[in-house]
Amino acid sequence: MSADHIPGISRRQALRLGLALGVAGPLAAACGGGGFSTSGGGGGDGQLTFMSTQFTPVEEKERFRKILADAFPGPVNYVTNEPGPFATQVRSQVSAGRVEINLLGGIHGDLAPLADGQLEDLTDLVGELSGKGYAEDFLQLARAGTDRTWYVPWAQATYVLAAKKSTLEYLPSGADVNDLTYDQFLSWAQAAAQASGAPQLGLPAGPKGLLHRFLQGYLYPSFTGRQVTAFRSDEAVTMWEYLKELWAVTAPSSTNVDFMQEPLAAGQVTMAWDHVARLVNAPGDAPDEWIMVPAPKGPEGRGYMAVLLGLAIPKGAPDQDRTKELIKALSDARTQAEVLRQNAFFPTVEGDVPSDLPPAIQLEADAVAAQAGSADALVALPPVGLGTRDGEMSKIFKDSFTAIVLQNQDIRATLDAQGAIMQTLLDDAKVPCWAPDEVKAGETCKVG
């Protein structure tokens, strides 16, 4: 390889490389460093930016943009973000004093941590909308442990059971699938596992799964009647023993499942508990083969948890009057019914349920109504007033599950250890208990 030979070939190639790279500069310059608008709002001034953690899948996002366009006359950019970047964007914009987002949409767990000074006080707006018939529980959540209201209840959801109709033959005799007890539920899962030779039940125990809500909102209330104040009680120990039995007939692959609809649709499991929005795609083309039923009941009642979506305005956001108009438009009963029909989240305002629901959503709507309407229903709320430390409460339940059920550690010792962490958390936040625990205003909740 002679030295004078190499540059000859390579210079041409270098030139071509340089040319290719050189395209980037003008391109970047051409769009002024700003970029191409990706939010589907059409661009231009006067449009509102609506950032949300909900309806992120492509299809749901498209459908919701349509709903928005029909409900509100002005242009709205609907932008989605994962919860992490969502919080980052709000916090950095508010603290830099340059807020560019007009409206926020998210679950209670996304919005409540921002009530530490990142949100506008919406007490007056909620007062104006009070005729819509919001549930008192929801308004309490929206206050996030203060006496002001920080977000407007936007939509709701809950968790139910989904199962293949073919599993009904394993139902213990005399059991009503719409009114199961946890013991019958266990026998059902055991019989199904025995018949097929493999566990048939799935629980969302993956990293983003909502299994902790099964503990907080379903098992604890149903077995102990409470959530925090009975965390270490004897009833709680019984409950954990029950869960270990249930886990024995639960597919072990549940530990990396976030959305039960996938293993259900794939036939990996045939019965599961999960969030309605995470079950809705399971029936697919064959809704006739599926049932959706209320969660079982325990000795203390049928514990269930509501998921609340809210709308909030970041502190110092521009154009707040028009944003409030947008909130009102989204609080219209017809708009919310449309969200149910297309994206499977239930209304928070009173109104008629549309009669033309898609089959899978109809299955859910019936199960949800049966669950909330059952005589022994016991509503549990997600933690109220913990703010930024909301996630730590979830972690306590997840860690307890890992220790007791997956690692087979001593129940009592685990509950004592995790209970101590929980107490520290409650003391730091100085919050009173929330439903189903007895609410005593001004008194810090005590782990029992």
Partner 1 sequence: MTAARVERRRLPLPFLLLLPSAVFMLLLFGWPLFMGLLEAFRGPDGFTTAHWERMAGEPRFWEAVRNTLLLTAVVIPIQFVLALTMAMLLQAKPRGAGFYFYVWAVPLAISDLAAGLVWLAIFTDLGYLNSTLVNLGFVEQGIAWLNYQNPLSLFMTVVVAEVWRATSLVLIIVVAGMQAIPKDYDEAAQVFGASFWKRLWHVTLPLLRPSLQVALILRTILAFEAFAVAQALTGRNFPLLVGETYEWSVGLQNPAVASAVALVVLGMSMVVAVIYLRALRQPDSVRDAR
Partner 2 sequence: MSAPAVTPSTVDTSVALPPVDRAPLRRLRRRRVLLQAACVLVTLFMGLPVYLIALAAFSSRATLNEFPKSLLPTGFSVDTLSSFLSSSGVVAAFLNSVVVGLATLVLALLIGAPAGYAVARFAFRGRDTYQLMLLITRALPIVVLSVPLAQLFLTAGLYDSILAVTLVHSALALPTTVLITASVFVSVPRDLEEAAQVFGCTRAQAFRRIVAPMALPGIAAASIFTFVLSWNEVLAAAILTLNNRTLPAQVLTSLADSPIAYRFAGGFALVLPALLFILLMRRYLLNMWGSTLR
| Interacting residue ranges for partner 2, rule: CB under 8 A | 3, 6-7, 9-11, 13-14, 17, 20-25, 27-28, 31, 33-41, 49, 51, 56-59, 61-62, 65, 77, 79-82, 84-85, 88-89, 91-93, 95-96, 98, 100-101, 208, 259, 261-262, 265-267, 281, 284-285
Taking the complex as a whole, how short is the minimal distance between the CB of residue 257 and partner 2, in angstroms? 11
Q: Is residue 255 at the binding interface for partner 1, with CB under 8 A as the rule?
A: yes
Taking the complex as a whole, how short is the minimal distance between the CB of residue 162 and partner 1, in angstroms? 18
Stretch touching partner 1 by CB under 8 A, among 79-87, 151-159, 174-182, 345-353: 79-87
CA 422 to chain centre: 22
Query: What, of partner 1, partner 2, none, does residue 24 touch, CB below 5 to 8 Å by kind?
Result: partner 2
CA–CA dist 348, 355 (Å, integer): 17
Q: Is residue 227 at the binding interface for partner 1, with CB under 8 A as the rule?
A: no
With helix as H, strand as E and coil as C, how does the chain read? Answer: CCCCHHHHHHHHHHHHHHHHHHCHHHHHHHCCCCCCCCCCCCCCCCCEEEEECCCCCHHHHHHHHHHHHHHCCCCEEEEECCHHHHHHHHHHHHHHCCCCCCEEEEEHHHHHHHHCCCECCCHHHHHHCHHHCCCHHHHHHHHCCCCCCCCEEEEEEEEEEEEEHHHHHHCCCCCCHHHCEHHHHHHHHHHHHHHHCCCCEECCCCCCCCHHHHHHHHHHHHHHCCCCCCCCCHHHHHHHHHHHHHHHCECHHHHHCCCCHHHHHHCCCCEEEEEHHHCCCCCCCCHHHEEEECCCEECCEEEEEEEEEEEECECCCCCHHHHHHHHHHHCCHHHHHHHHHHHCCEECCCCCCCCCCCHHHHHHHHHHHHHHHCCCEEEECCCCCCHHHHHHHHHHHHHHHHHHHHCCCCHHHHHHHHHHHHHHHHHHHCCCCCCCCCCCCCCCCCCC
Taking the complex as a whole, how short is the minimal distance between the CB of residue 142 and partner 1, in angstroms? 19
Interface positions, 20-59, toward partner 1 (CB under 8 A)? none
Would strands 201-202 and 152-164 be described as parallel, antiparallel, or unpaired? unpaired
Q: Is residue 81 at the binding interface for partner 1, with CB under 8 A as the rule?
A: no
- Sequence-distant (6+) residues with CB within 8 A of 159 are 210, 213, 214, 217, 218, 273, 274, 275, 276, 295, 304, 305, 307
Query: What, of partner 2, partner 1, none, does residue 204 touch, CB below 5 to 8 Å by kind?
Result: none
Stretch touching partner 1 by CB under 8 A, among 20-28, 263-271, 275-283, 377-385: 263-271
Q: Is residue 343 at the binding interface for partner 1, with CB under 8 A as the rule?
A: no
Number of residues interacting with partner 1: please give it, by CB under 8 A.
Answer: 30
Stretch touching partner 1 by CB under 8 A, among 147-155, 158-166, 181-189, 245-253: 245-253
Query: What, of partner 1, partner 2, none, does residue 288 touch, CB below 5 to 8 Å by kind?
Result: none
Residue number, 82 or 124, with CB nearest to partner 1? 82
For 226, 388, 418, the CA distances from 446, given in Å and listed in that order, are 12, 20, 13
Taking the complex as a whole, how short is the minimal distance between the CB of residue 77 and partner 2, in angstroms? 6
Query: What, of partner 2, partner 1, none, does residue 117 touch, CB below 5 to 8 Å by kind?
Result: none
Two tokens, residue 393: 């409460």
Among the listed residues 190, 152, 158, the one whose alpha carbon sits nearest the alpha carbon of residue 171: 190
CA–CA dist 403, 409 (Å, integer): 6
Q: Is residue 364 at the binding interface for partner 1, with CB under 8 A as the rule?
A: no
Q: Is residue 268 at the binding interface for partner 1, with CB under 8 A as the rule?
A: yes
Q: Is residue 394 at the binding interface for partner 1, with CB under 8 A as the rule?
A: yes
Stretch touching partner 1 by CB under 8 A, among 7-15, 24-32, 203-211, 294-302: 203-211
Stretch touching partner 1 by CB under 8 A, among 42-50, 60-68, 200-208, 219-227: 200-208
From 34, 117, 207, 442, residue interacting with partner 1 (rule: CB under 8 A)? 207
Q: Is residue 95 at the binding interface for partner 1, with CB under 8 A as the rule?
A: no
Tell me, residue by residue from 395 to 434, as one string, x for binding to partner 1 by CB under 8 A and - for no binding. Answer: x--xx--x---x----------------------------
Q: Is residue 104 at the binding interface for partner 1, with CB under 8 A as the rule?
A: no
Tell me, residue by residue from 1 to 20, as one string, x for binding to partner 1 by CB under 8 A and - for no binding. Answer: x-------------------
Query: What, of partner 2, partner 1, none, does residue 206 touch, CB below 5 to 8 Å by kind?
Result: partner 1
Per CB under 8 A, residues contacting partner 1 are 1, 82-84, 87, 113, 198, 205-207, 209, 251-253, 255-256, 266-268, 388-392, 394-395, 398-399, 402, 406
